[in-house]
Structure 1
Amino acid sequence: MGSFKGHIVPGTLFLVVGLWHIWCSLVRYASNPKTFRVRVWNPVPGFGGRVKYLELYVIAVGAFFDLCIEFLYSTHLKIFVIGVLNPSHMNDFEHSGMLLMFFIFGIIALLSEKTSFLPLPEGALCFIVSAAFTAEYLLFYFHSTTHKGLEGYYHLILVLLIVLCITSTIAGAIMPTSFPADLCSGIAITLQGLWFYQTAFTLYGPMMPDGCRLKGNEISCGSTGHEVYGELLANFQLFVQVFGVLVGVTGAYIYAEQKFGRPTLVSSSAPEGS
């Protein structure tokens, strides 16, 4: 069982990183399609280069902050019971493992970019972040907390979005010049962040479907019909999010093309003399 804050915090991280990835991908492609390369992270321009690695710091610090919440605060420091991991907080330990993978990616990427100790190509970083997404997938697929009913349906959609994140990042490593793979990665991360938000507001907030309620640590629906209605509502919410993101991406690309696009050079040749 999760919580409102437990979904909002990681959702915010995924949403911020995903939106930034989409924008940078569009700008780089609009600026020069021929030299486009997949990037697993994007530098922040300006300020004399002082915030160049801001995205990596957001990933590393954000994952570490959320890790501390899950591993220390949520467990109330009752980590071990009779010499073994506290079985009452296995859910928190699993979340911690997932966040640890993203923290490791952030640290490795910073070491690779800022030092000479661990120089890695962009493809290797793509595989590392895909490993972090894979750990997240395994967490939600083999969760110690059994997600059933409406809660299980929302987490099933989340798992599918995570699979899209894994696939797009691996595709970026295999096809390093593919604009669709790079853009799809940003869209998948953004949708994952939005779905964390949607899950928080629906299952633990004010958007609970009619006939369903949060009781104790379980979400129960009054009848099968109410549960089916909740699942159909989830489908509609996902459609709205996908449609909204695609419309936003289209608008952002039009703007990026107008602002950063290179003018087409039309070469004219003189007519041949007779």
Structure 2
Amino acid sequence: MDLFIAHLVQGLALTFLGLWHIINIIKSYLVKGPSNFTIRFWYHFNTPHFKFKHLELVSILSFSILAILMQILDFPHFHYAFKLDNFEHATMFIHLALFAGFSLLTELTDSLELFSGFVAILVSSVFSQELFLLHFHSTDHVGPEGHYHWLLQLIVFVSLIASLAAAVFPNSFNAAIVLSISLIFQGCWFINMGFMLYIPTFVPERCVMNLARESASEIHGAVTCGSKEADFRAKGLANLQFSWILSAIMIFAGIVCLKLAKKFTIVDRLEYERIQSKVADSTVVNEGFKPAK
């Protein structure tokens, strides 16, 4: 149950983060237009009743630090023990905390434009380290569990490629939208893994949860199947879930595009361009003005 909760919490966090990004990316693209669109790796949070524009970065940083502490203290036992799996998980969150912490500092010191390239590198580092650690972490997973982890690596690989493309092409809407979709996909896949691997009711037919007791206080769950046919069926089911979840996310992304396209009309874009033009004219005037000596 602890492993299910861990997958559920992490999956929900990634899913909500991806949803937040995909809505803001499409909104920004529709308002600014292709020529003025620029990729952002976080978005300000402002509402009429609550204004805290750095909420996303603060939430990511807090979540990462809490996750690191829980891995080191071996939640829910809360005692220090050097467990390789726990430290691998904690290392993934270290890179996420580095990105959120540095990005928050650039915001607070108004130096984002100077270090935007390095922020993009930090984002790529998050996914590269996640893929690296997942690849070797998953070597001891066999059967359906290993297959679910292998499919997870495919999703993280797409996130890595999209983040690298966003770093090289900071005005690419395609790179931004693929990155946000892959975040949602990661989150949904974590949730799916939690149900299919750690809840007995959802374990594939003719497969069982194997509870291997390694010590008096540590129990790990793994799914094993009674025959090659059952193992093949379980992996085929995972492949179908992979395609179905991706299809649902793509349908959602398409609906968001169409809905926001109706809401943010050409009037909004013209208003944005008018404001940008006034800012540019003001800058030219200020640069051309020279005080008398």
The interval holding the TM-score normalised by the smaller chain is 0.7 to 0.9
Report how far residue 252 of structure 1 moved: 0.4
1:120, CA displacement in angstroms? 4.4
Please give the residue correspondences for 1:1-274 in structure 2 after superposition, counting only pairs within 5 Å. Answer: 3-33=3-33, 34-47=35-48, 50-74=51-75, 76-79=77-80, 86=82, 89-115=83-109, 120-143=114-137, 146-205=140-199, 206-216=201-211, 217=220, 218-263=222-267
CA distance in 2, matches of 1:48, 1:122: 30
- Label 1:207 to 1:115 Cα distance change in 2 as closer, same or farther (>3 A): same
Distance (whole Å) between structure 2 residues aligned to residue 144 and residue 201 of structure 1: 18
Code of the aligned partner of 2:148: Y
> 1:223 offset after TM fit, Å?
0.7
User: Do the aligned partners of 1:32 and 1:262 also contact (CA within 8 Å) in 2?
Assistant: no
Whole-angstrom CA distance in 2 between matches of 1:119 and 1:31: 21
Paired with 1:221 and 1:64, the residues of 2 have a C-alpha distance of 37
**Aligned position for 1:83:** none
**Structure 2 alignment gaps of length 5 or more:** 212-219, 271-293
- Distance in 2 between the 1:29 and 1:38 partners? 9
**Can you give the 5+ residue segments of structure 1 that lack an aligned partner in the other structure?**
81-85, 266-274
SS state at 2:208 partner: strand
Q: Percent identity?
A: 29
CA change 1:117–1:36 in 2 (3 A) is closer
Q: Is the 8 A contact 2:138 2:150 kept in 1?
A: no
- Report if aligned partners of 1:123, 1:172 keep a CA contact under 8 Å in 2: no
Cα distance, 1:37 vs structure 2:
0.6
In 2 relative to 1, CA 153–147 (structure 1 residues): closer, same or farther, beyond 3 Å?
A: same
Query: What is the identity, as a one-letter code, of the residue corresponding to 1:250?
Result: G
Structure with more of its chain in helix, by fraction: 2
1:47 to partner: Cα distance = 4.2
1:204-246 Cα deviation digits (max 9, x unpaired): 1232110111111332111111111111111111111111111
Q: How many residues align?
A: 257
The structure, 1 or 2, with the larger RCO (C-alpha pairs under 8 Å, 6+ apart) is 1
